[in-house]
Each structure stands twice: as C-alpha cells, then as structure tokens.
Amino acid sequence: MRYWLMKSEPSKFSLDNLLALPGQTTAWDGVRNYQARNFMWKQMHVGDLAFFYHSCCAQPGIAGIVEVTRSAYPDVTQFDPESRFYDAKASRDNPRWFNVEITLKEKTRLLTIKELRQYSELARMRVLQTGNRLSITPVDPDEWKFILKILQA
C-alpha cells in the first residue's frame, strides 16, 4: 500500500461535494500534469490511501482521507470538446490522460498547511516544499502515521 496527497480546489470540488455523491465515490479526473498523471497511471493501486487536500483557498489543508477504489483508466474528459479538459491530441486508441476513482473514508478536521509546517517531522513533505504545485504527491509512510496522530489528538 502507498500513501498520497491529492489536491482539489474547494471552489471546484470539495470534500463536501464528495460527501454528497452516491457511494461518496468519484473519478479524480481533469489532471493535466504528466508527473501527477503518471502517479495515478503507474503507481496508484486499489487500496492505496490519500489525504484529500483543499488548495487555492483561504485555509488550505487536509480535509479528509480517501481510498483508491479503481485503478487508472482513460479520463473521458480528454475526449469531450465541450470539456475544459479536452485534449485534441488524445484519442480513444491512444489516450494521454488517466484518472483513478476514490471513495471517502473519513472527513477529518481541517489540518491547515500552517499547522503542518509547525512539525519538523513533516519538513520533507512535498506539499510543504516551496514551488510544489503538483496536484498529486506521494506521502512517506512515517509522515502518514504522524499526520494520523495529529488528527486523532
């Protein structure tokens, strides 16, 4: 099992939006960064866990925990000319973009980036690195365990 952090802008899709969906499950679509895509396509597996992170908002931070419940498959938004994620270079025979499906495990208290930065144990965490803008990043198992302890305190 691997651990991840998956960012979403709450003005576009929040943890509460996920809570409202049937089965509290959604495709993590619209990713248009090759490194983030490759994490989903080649490294994420059913059963992996991820922190659901609200970004680009007044209080960025971890809002919940999700589980990968379906392995990577072609992101259908790349084929839809009406979608803002349309990619004219993609075809059904040769897709360029993939997504996984996630299911909510737990809504947590908001653990803000400001609070995360207070812990030296998390200093190497990718989301805390200057210039990191990836929407999906791996989380070290020790960082995962440490954050769970913070959330349970």
Question: Average pLDDT, whole number, for the chain?
Answer: 97
User: Hey, CA dihedral for 68, 74, 78, 79, is it positive or negative?
Assistant: negative
Q: How many CA atoms lie within 13 A of 89 on its CB side?
A: 3
Residue 58 has pLDDT above 90, yes or no: yes
Q: In terms of DSSP H, where are the helices of 71-135?
A: 113-116
Residue 150 has pLDDT above 90, yes or no: yes
pTM score of the predicted model? 0.95
Domains and CATH numbers, the chain: 3-152 (3.10.590.10)
Residue 153 has pLDDT above 90, yes or no: no
Q: Cα separation of 91 and 135, whole Å?
A: 24
Residue 11: the pLDDT is: 96
Question: pLDDT per residue over 70-96, tens digit each?
Answer: 999 999 999 999 999 999 999 999 999
Q: Cα separation of 142 and 51, whole Å?
A: 14
- Asked if 71 contacts 18 with a C-beta cutoff of 8 angstroms, the reply is no
Residue 6: the pLDDT is: 98
Task: Give SS3 for 32.
Answer: coil
Q: Cα separation of 46 and 4, whole Å?
A: 12
Residue 105: Cβ-neighbour burial (10 angstroms; 0-12, 13-18, 19+)? middle
